[in-house]
Amino acid sequence: MSSRRHFLQKLTGSAMSLPFLQLYGSNSKDIYNRSYQGPVLRVAILGLGSYGTRVAEAMQSCKMAKLVGAISGTPSKLADWQKKYNIPEKNCYNYENFGAIKDNSEIDAVYVITPNALHHDQVIKVAKAGKHVICEKPMAVNAKEGEEMVKACKDAKVKLLVGYRMHFEPKTLEIIRMRKEGELGKIMFFQGLCGFRIGNPDQWRLNRQLAGGGSMMDIGIYAINGSRYMIGEEPVWVTAEETKTDSAKFKEGVDETIQFQLGFPGGAVASCLSTYNMSNLDRFFLNGQAGFAELQPATGYGPIKGRTNKGELSQPHITHQTVQMDEMAGIILEGKQPIVPVDGEEALKDLKIIDAIYLAAKTGKKVALKL
């Protein structure tokens, strides 16, 4: 059964990804119908933890992106990755010496997949080495750091992209298409519920010095970002309230649960929940005067499930990170324009909203937004 499932997953990830990739109007059809002969983005992954491993596995199916390097503070991980992914030893670095990638012509870009508080310095270091950067979200722990990262990459004339995998997800893009074409009518309301019960209290996600916060930085950002691309506007105000039931596990500066509301210039409002203490919360709901759209699960690794007032969404599931890396390769190498932005400026907007949410929760006041 497992081998059959693996076969079907590979079949879905290759042949069935064609309809999605055609959305960009590129030569993606050729990429997935025959051997690809175009440019390939050569990527090193910085941070070889669980998500770094997930990305590495997904990249084995990529056509336009190839894993060629690894950066880690753990020598044993580097040795394992060299063997597993056939990475040359000369393309492996540790956290102290990876600035030397400046002289490595075999690496085009570095994907930073480390705890949030490390992103700022690592991204700037990669940029100064003259390599394009892909950074996992949140891009930084606050907007000030994010601005410095965007500037560093602009100064170095390298691309800065952020790991917004949902921006390439077919059912998500179908809802965005319906909204843009007026099929849902005037948008009035968005709900984003994002949460799970977090486990080990000693993990870095519950360490403010590494995470920069709590659930909002990890899972709440999906609702923030989702409200923006689903409604199709930028919010102009935010209100928020924090609830904490376990101060031993969720220490000062590590949010357990935050409810927040966003107001948009067209009159739409968003009501969202971010939590580390409730399970079965992964739902987006968009309501317009002529229809609705729902995703549940909305942001998991898949398959995403969705429906609208017109019926079930049937777009195929594709491994998110495979599509993300192929499409990001197209952005970097060919200047493609994604339907929903994935650049540093996009990520900076989310950071400004997170800053405002924390301020609103602390003060109990409505906070104006200027994005």
pLDDT of residue 35: 78
Over range 20-41, report the average pLDDT: 58
Q: Is residue 360 part of a domain?
A: yes
**pLDDT > 60? residue 7:** no
Do 214 and 140 belong to one domain? Answer: no
C-alpha dist (Å) from residue 176 to 179, 210, 212: 5, 34, 31
Burial of 1 (0-12, 13-18, 19+ CB in 10 A): exposed
Do 15 and 134 belong to one domain? Answer: yes
pLDDT digits (tens, 9 = 90+) for 162-173: 999 999 999 999
Q: Is residue 361 part of a domain?
A: yes
Instruction: Please give the mean pLDDT across all residues of the chain.
Output: 92
Q: Is residue 18 part of a domain?
A: yes
Do 57 and 84 belong to one domain? Answer: yes
Active site residues: 137, 222
The whole-model pTM stands at 0.91
Residue among 100, 95, 93, 39 at smallest CA distance from 69: 93
Confidence category of residue 34, pLDDT binned at 50, 70, 90: low
Query: Can you give the residue range of the structural domain that contains 81?
Result: 2-165
Over range 77-88, report the average pLDDT: 98
Q: Is residue 327 part of a domain?
A: no
CA angle 315, 320, 325 (to 5 degrees): 125
pLDDT digits (tens, 9 = 90+) for 311-362: 999 999 989 999 999 999 999 999 999 999 999 999 999 999 999 999 999 9
> Any idea what the CATH number is for the domain that residue 95 is in?
3.40.50.720
**pLDDT > 70? residue 15:** no
Tally of domains in the chain: 2
Domain boundary among 142, 165, 188: 165
Do 156 and 297 belong to one domain? Answer: no
pLDDT digits (tens, 9 = 90+) for 207-254: 999 999 999 999 999 999 999 999 999 999 999 999 999 999 999 999
